[in-house]
Structure 1
Amino acid sequence: MPRAIPTVQRRLLGYPEVATYLGISVRAAKELAHEGKLLKVLIGHRVLFDVVDVDHFIEQIKRAS
């Protein structure tokens, strides 16, 4: 019987995924990252976003509203 490969949920998202997650455009996500409002993770030349940090960003803007 073949071993089942566990499903891994991604923790790091690229610009398109984080934009979809937040319900904004990719351009808006890039602006938030450039302004330092969205923390980014650099792996080589790739810019990624930790879902935990994105959730924290959401909580911050909820409190500010």
Structure 2
Amino acid sequence: MKSKSIIILIISLLFLIIILQNTQVVTLQLFFWKIEMSRIILLILTLLIGAVIGYAVAEIGAGRHKNK
């Protein structure tokens, strides 16, 4: 396995452990909205949003290097 794959596997396992230990219901208050959801769902949404932002930033950076 490549080192990148091993790092991704380790991070995924750590995230899974964190998710399984956080099953409580939390209240998310954003501006004037108040949403109650499981902490697991909030963590997964946060991970997905971070992954999308990371991918977008990487693509923008790759596009800049490609044009030079």
TM value normalised by structure 2: 0.27
Name the structure with the higher helix share.
Answer: 2
TM value normalised by structure 1: 0.28
Q: Which has the larger radius of gyration?
A: 2
Greater relative contact order (CA < 8 Å, ≥ 6 in sequence): 1
